[in-house]
Amino acid sequence: MKELHAIIDNYELARQAGEALALATVVHVEGSSYRMPGARMLVQQNGRMTGAISGGCLEGDALRKALFAIGQKSNMLVTYDTSDDDVTLGVQLGCNGIVHILFEPIDFTNPRNPVELLKACVDGERQPAALVTLFSLQRAVPQMGTVFFNKGAQSQVYLTKAELLKNHLEEHAKLAIESQQSFTGSLRINDVHYQAFYEFISPPISLCIVGAGNDALPLLAIAKSLGWQVTVIDGRESHLTKERFPSADRLLLRQAADALSQTTIDPQTAVVLMTHNYQYDKMVLAELLKTKVGYVGCLGPKKKLVRMLDELHEAGNHLTAQDIARIYGPVGLNIGAEAPEEVALAIVAEILAVFRSANAGFLKDQAGGVHKRFKDGSLLPKAGESVLEKSDQIAATNFTCSLNMPTDA
């Protein structure tokens, strides 16, 4: 999400300066790749690049392709085969993958250009969204590009004359939001075969640090470096100051009973209890269990958390297995952390692993690739989600319509 916001920020600066732009997006991957579909890079006419589409091996040539697309004022699809050690690009990289990248020159006069649709997905309320990009592996046909977004009650399609296609895209975009996963489907327009990349875009991780002690400082720093939204909550006015936490998005001076007031707690929210005040942490934990919070971390020994849960149960709080599964204590991955900065790193890594449904083990011990996929190459849903079969079925379904529409509709 931090990368997307950087792209949007530089898009706005370039628009003010009247500087031409192109957006490069990884839309399809065969085999192994450093970045997955949805990775983006904004290329300015002066050569500045924001974001990344690879580990650095493709950016140089992608710059040239982006400038060519700007000059031609048309979308273009470029394929990079990094599995061949004899090619100029990707020599000796061993990536063993084929990466398809879509280049879209940006028309500032078009209120529905690709970056504007991207902005619509990430701006405003914290709601999941889906972005749809149409591309064809047939080189001689027009590349439609980023054409649709859906977020809550909002949706907008660039292909204004294709109502039937809009309905189809909206149905599948809602599936991406429902399943919280991206996938690729197939369709035909005027007898031309297209791929539709339905990209799920979740709200950024929101972190609430409950406790304004010194050990909260490195946790804030690391979380902000990842682009997370961070709120620090504490009841001590002497600790909770802008001078101590200058990069925090919000500072909330609250007693335990109303610690969560004026705070949005949703499934993309992580809360870490670290006040070093047992009663304060316990009261906040009791309120958190009434919310849809995605992660609760409790600093301190396991016996502290067990005692908290026992006392909450004795006080009449019904704790379900789902409640217990959301609580992590002692907080953080087991990386041998000792210093506050190391503990903060372990906490952030655990939060990321939970929200990405990763096992947080050593990659060298993992069988197969780093990224789990559908049969069509898109990412798999999270473990245990019932949408897998439905998503896989739709991703493999061809949609045929005989639309008599211009490609620039």
Greater pLDDT, 43 or 374: 43
Q: Which residues have a Cβ under 8 Å from the Cβ of 365 and sit 6 or more positions away?
A: none
Q: Is 311 helix (H, G, I), strand (E, B) or coil?
A: helix
pLDDT value of position 382: 39
What pLDDT is stored for residue 369 in this prediction?
60
Residue-level pLDDT at 386? 40
| pLDDT score of 163 more than 80 | no
Which structure tokens are listed for 339?
């210093």
Mean pLDDT within 378-391: 41
DSSP at 372: -
- Rounded-to-integer distance, Cα 331 and Cα 347, Å: 6
| pLDDT score, position 327 | 96
The pLDDT score that the predictor gives to residue 93 is 46
Q: Chain-wide mean pLDDT for the chain?
A: 84
Overall average pLDDT of the 314-326 stretch: 91
The mean pLDDT of 80-95, rounded to a whole number, is 55
pLDDT tens per residue, range 238-276: 999 999 999 999 999 999 999 999 898 999 999 999 999
Whether 376 shows a pLDDT value over 60: the answer reads no
Question: Among 78-87, 167-176, 252-261, 264-273, which stretch is predicted with the lowest mean pLDDT?
Answer: 78-87
pLDDT reported for residue 377: 44
Neighbouring-strand partners of residue 21: 44
pLDDT of res. 124: 77
35 pLDDT tier (thresholds 50, 70, 90): confident
Task: Give the model's pLDDT for residue 23.
Answer: 95
Q: Is the pLDDT reported for residue 104 higher than 90? A: yes
Burial class (CB in 10 A: 0-12, 13-18, 19+), 36: middle
Categorize the per-residue pLDDT at 57 as very low, low, confident or very high, splitting at 50, 70 and 90. Answer: confident
**DSSP code for 379:** B
User: Alpha-carbon distance 398 to 375, whole Å?
Assistant: 15
Per-residue pLDDT at 395: 46
How far apart, in whole angstroms, are the C-alpha atoms of residue 225 and residue 128? Answer: 22
Tokens read off for 331: 């907080």
Alpha helices in 106-245 (DSSP H): 114-122, 163-179, 216-225
Residue 69 has pLDDT above 60, yes or no: yes
Is residue 334 over pLDDT 80?
yes
Output the pLDDT for position 81. Answer: 82
pLDDT at 404 over 70: no
